[in-house]
Amino acid sequence: MRFFVVGLGSMGKRRIRNLLKLGERDVVGYDVNRDRLREAQEKYGIRPVGSVEEGLAEDPDLMVISVPPMHHSEYALKAVEVGVPFFCESPLARTSGEVERLIEASEESGVLGAPSCNMLFNAGVKRIFHMVGQGQIGRVLCVQYEVGHYLPDWHPYEDYRTTYMGEDPIFGGGADLVPMELVWLTKLFGRVRRVTGLMRDLRRLKIRAPHDTFQMVMETERGVVVEFHADGVSRDPCRRCRVVGEEGTIVWDGVENYVKFYSASEGSWTVRYEPRGFVYTEGYSHEKMYEEEFAHLLRVLRGEEEYRHGLGDELHILRIWEAALR
C-alpha cells in the first residue's frame, strides 16, 4: 500500500516509523518546512512532494494528517474530495460543524475517515477495559482522571510559544489532550449526556492560547460520573485514573506503569498488571500504543476489521468539548 504523510514534525515522523515497523515501505511525505521534509527523506527514505495536491495525485491508499490541529479538517476534506481515505491526529476538527461537513462528504464519496484513537491501545487502558468488562469491580459508579504535563518540556528542541501549543486559540495550551482522552473515556464508560466545564489560564506560561488548565465533570448515559482534569502546567508528567465500582476499585498510573485492583470482598489491594518493555518517550506517551493503533488501521484498510472510532464518535467528542466551554 502507498501512504501519504502530511506534516513531518514529531507526530508525522512517528507515523512513518510506525509504518516502516509494520513493513510498509511506500511512503510519500510533505511538509511546508523544507528542513523537516529533507530530514524525513534522509532519515526514513520517504519520497518527498512539493504540495498536498501533488501527494494526493500519487493515488495513496491512505493520507495521514499530522499537521497542527487548526489544519486537520482542511486537509481531511481535501482527501475526501478526491476519494482518498484519511487518518487524522486528534482532534479531527476545531468545531463540531467541521466534523458534520466531513461526515457528509465522506458519506458521499464512500471513503474511510479515521480519527486517531491511540489511547484505546494504551497498555493500562486496555487492562482497565478488560477488568471492567470482566465485572471485577461490579457496576462502575464514578471515575477520577487527571493528565498533566509541562508545555515548555513538551518539545525541548523548539520554543513552545511559537507552536500551536502556544498560539492555537482553540486547542493550544494543552487543550488537544482533552478530545484525545475523551475517546477512551466515552468508549468505556458511555456517551456523555451532561457536562460542566471550568477552563482557566493560570498565567504560568507565555502563551496566546486562552487556557492552560481544563476541568470537566460529566455524567454518561450509563449513569457514571466522570471527573476529568488536564493541564499544561504540571512540572511532573502525570496520567492517573481511579475507577470506583460497587465491588472494588481500579487505580492506574500511566507514568509509574501499574494498575492496582482493590477487592471489597477480600479487603486488599493487588497489583494486577505492570507493563514491561515499553519505552516511555516524550514525557508522557508510549510508542507501543501508536504502533498497535496503526496495525489496527492497516487491518481496516485490508477489510479485516471495522475502525474503532468513527466520524460519528468524533462528532460526539467535539460536542462534549463545545458544551464544556459554554
Give the tens place of pLDDT for each residue, 93-140: 999 999 999 999 999 999 999 999 999 999 999 999 999 999 999 999
The mean per-residue pLDDT over the stretch 32-54 comes to 97
- Indicate whether 298 pLDDT > 70: yes
- Indicate whether 284 pLDDT > 80: no
Grouping H, G, I as helix, E, B as strand and the rest as coil, residue 112 is coil
- Indicate whether 314 pLDDT > 60: yes
C-alpha–C-alpha distance, residues 217 and 114, integer Å: 27
What cell numbers appear for 241 in the block?
485514573
Q: What is the pLDDT of residue 309?
A: 98
**Which domains does the chain show, CATH number per domain?**
2-116 (3.40.50.720), 119-325 (3.30.360.10)
CA distances from 149 to 54, 213, 236 (A): 37, 11, 6
- Indicate whether 279 pLDDT > 70: no
Phi and psi angles of residue 263, each rounded to the nearest 5 degrees, phi first: -100, 120
Q: How confident is the model at residue 207 (pLDDT cuts 50, 70, 90)?
A: confident
Q: What is the pLDDT of residue 274?
A: 59
The mean per-residue pLDDT over the stretch 165-193 comes to 92
If residue 29 lies in a helix (H) or strand (E), which one and from where to where?
A: strand 26-30
Q: Which residues are 2's β-sheet partners?
A: 26
User: pLDDT by residue (tens digit) across 61-81?
Assistant: 999 999 999 999 999 999 999
The DSSP call for residue 279 is: P
Q: What is the pLDDT of residue 280?
A: 42
* 66-76 residues labelled b (16+ CB within 10 A) or e (exposed): bbbbbbbbebb
The DSSP call for residue 26 is: E
What cell numbers appear for 125 in the block?
487502558
C-alpha–C-alpha distance, residues 169 and 315, integer Å: 20
C-alpha–C-alpha distance, residues 4 and 58, integer Å: 8
Q: What is the pLDDT of residue 165?
A: 79
Residues 6+ apart with CB under 8 A from 222: 140, 189, 190
Q: What is the pLDDT of residue 33?
A: 95
Q: Measured at the alpha carbon of residue 98, what is the angle toward residues 102 and 189, in degrees to the nearest 5?
A: 85
The mean per-residue pLDDT over the stretch 150-178 comes to 83
What cell numbers appear for 252 in the block?
492506574
Q: How confident is the model at residue 281 (pLDDT cuts 50, 70, 90)?
A: very low
The mean per-residue pLDDT over the stretch 230-238 comes to 94
- Indicate whether 174 pLDDT > 90: no
Segments in 110-150 forming alpha helices (H): 123-133
The mean pLDDT of the chain is 93
